[in-house]
Structure formats: C-alpha cells, structure tokens
Amino acid sequence: MRLFICCLAMAALAEPAAAQPRSSFGGEQLSIDHAPVREDIALTCAYATECYEAEGCQEAGFGYALSGRGGGMNNEMLVVELDMVSDIGDVTLVGLRSGGYALSGGSFDARHLLSIAENGDARHTVHYMSGPQVISYIGQCVKAD
C-alpha cells in the first residue's frame, strides 16, 4: 500500500505546475514547485567502469552533470526531476530521493536507470531497444560545487 501511495505522489509531483488539473476536492494537485519541502539538486557523476551486455567490463572515462529539483512533504523522501547533461545526450530523469536516489528516464529506444546509494556509489544502465543491448556504468556521484 505504501508503495502505491508513493507512486501516486511521484506521478502527481512530477507534472509541471501549469499542467495541474483541479482535483475532485476543488484544490490543485501537488507539484514539485508547490511542495512544502523543495530543494535544488546538483550532482556530478564519474564512472570508472563500463560493462557491455555479455562482454567483460573495462575502464571508462564517462561522466555527466545532474541538475534539477526535488519536492515532497518532508525531507525524508523527495520526488526529483533531474536533467542529465552528457556526451551521449541530454536526458531528463525522474524518481525518488530517500537517502539515495532511484531515477529513470529517456526515450523508448534508450531507457536510463540510475541508482545512487547514500554514500555516492552509483550504477547507471542504459537499455537500448536495438539489439537489444544493455550498457552498465559503475562509479560515484557527488554534490556539485
């Protein structure tokens, strides 16, 4: 039940405020911009390891910046929307921050899944429809200066 409520809250908060319809209770639905707790988020991620599908892993020099915002009812769990800016393309990721981050986004042909532990350990996978193939990156994300 808690997961269902969390998913409903995430869906409601992830929509832009301008697109918010009125609820059946007569008020506007919650958005990240109108949440009681709001926070700007900026992270830098660097990945030292890259793994292709069934092949072995190798050294990598891949990295990107994440920036965006989070909002929620308290500091314990925030719905987040972050823009990933990288050499492989820019992608908007949405998800939750509760200690660490669990984010996803991208196109139908290239879906991104990013998990960041509370200590900054990060795993980023890109699931490509063509092939299909999966590329995994293992590294660290830290707060940007």
Q: Taking 50 as the threshold, does the pLDDT of residue 140 lie above it?
A: yes
Confidence of residue 27 (pLDDT cuts 50, 70, 90): low
Q: For residue 33, what pLDDT band results from cuts at 50, 70 and 90?
A: confident
Percent of the chain exceeding pLDDT 90 equals 63
Q: Which of 15-24, 87-96, 122-131 has the lowest mean pLDDT?
A: 15-24
For 76-106, write each residue's pLDDT tens digit. 999 999 999 998 789 999 999 999 999 999 9
CA dihedral 104, 43, 87, 106 (to 10 degrees): 10
pLDDT at position 29: 63
Share the mean pLDDT of the chain: 83
Q: How high is the pLDDT of residue 21?
A: 43
Residue 75, pLDDT score = 86
Residue 65: exposure state from Cβ atoms within 10 A (0-12, 13-18, ≥19): middle
Task: Extract the runs of DSSP E, i.e. beta strands, from 12-108.
Answer: 37-52, 57-74, 77-85, 91-98, 100-106
With a CB cutoff of 8 Å and minimum separation 6, the contacts of 139 are 45, 46, 47, 48, 49, 60, 62, 63, 122, 124
pLDDT above 90 (res 24): no
Tell me the whole-structure pTM to 2 decimals.
0.78
* Mean pLDDT along residues 28-51: 88
Helices and strands (DSSP H and E) totals, the chain = 1, 8
